[in-house]
Amino acid sequence: MRDPKEHNSPEKQTWSLPKNDYWSTPFAEMLLHHLELFPGASVLDIACGHGTPAFYIAEQVGPEGLVLGVDMHPAQALRCRTTQGSHLPWLSFAQADMRALPLDLEPFDRITGNIAFMFFRPNRFEALKQLTGFLKPGGQLVLTFPSLGTFDSIWQRVDREMASRGLKQEQALLAEYIAERPSAEEVHRWLTELKMERIDVAEWPLEIKSGPGQAFLNHPLLRGGFLDDAYECFEDQVLANEVMDAVADDLESFIPLLAQRCAFSAWRPE
């Protein structure tokens, strides 16, 4: 299968994917690689964040279509509406928890979610099952997420640092955090159990750049979405800082920092 970057030419679109977003955009490219759109389609985009790729999708389905972006954080929906202004009137944004959507919501031709599946925790299978209920018969579900294996080199280095200090309890908690991350194989099994059809689950690596020391510890992506899991393994935050400072100063020993982009596509039976 070719690289998803070759599938789309977002720079030619009025509402292109953000070129300076080195996290959301690569995942969105993978999502669009799998998503089959058509003019007039109705699309639900869950955990829409800043609107990547909701704006792009809205332009593709056109004024005969309908796109609803939902996010549990009201500030995200407000930001999207501000960006939208009076454009693309068939696109709307609302605050809603994707795990508790209104039961009277009309079903959609397509359901998408960019880097959304990780937020289904802790009951991902149940949330996925509920979400498929909002698909029309013959509808397509496409979600992306960083899968198990993402930043393994970081976790291995943190584990070694913990081991060198005899921190067995912290090591056990770190192992639990890592094991909780969904894998591509797990998702495929769940979709099969839900009797979805034409299941396709794919992974592509994505390298994240960082400097050592505080640049690593305060990296806007790593700290907010990943490194906090390591800090939460410690009751003593002074000790946590000592361990993570040692790890951060040894960046050269565990680069490259590789995330696993996972995208899955599945269709509800007719």
- Residue 11 confidence (pLDDT) above 50: no
- Please say if the pLDDT value at position 234 is more than 90: yes
Residue range 244-254: mean pLDDT, rounded: 98
User: Where are the alpha helices (H) located in the chain, listed in sequence order?
Assistant: 24-34, 54-61, 74-84, 124-132, 152-164, 168-179, 184-193, 214-217, 222, 228-231, 237-248
Q: Which helix (H) or strand (E) segment is 75 a member of?
A: helix 74-84
pLDDT at 216: 97
Question: What are residue 70's DSSP bridge partners?
Answer: 46, 94
Chain segment 94-119, per-residue pLDDT in tens: 998 887 888 888 999 999 999 988 77
In tens, the pLDDT along 130-179 reads 999 999 999 999 999 999 999 999 999 999 999 999 999 999 999 998 88
User: Crossing angle of helices 124-132/184-193, nearest 10°?
Assistant: 50
What's the CA gap between 209 and 178, in Å, rounded?
A: 21
R_g (Cα) of the chain, nearest Å: 20
Written as one letter, the residue type at 179 is A
Which tens digit of pLDDT belongs to each residue from 72-94? 899 999 999 999 999 999 999 99
Strand partners, 69: 45, 93
**Angstrom distance (rounded) from CA 138 to CA 110:** 9
Structural domains in the chain plus CATH codes: 22-146 (3.40.50.150), 152-177+209-253 (no CATH)
What number of CA atoms fall less than 13 Å from residue 240's CA on the CB side? 16
Chain centroid to CA 120? 10
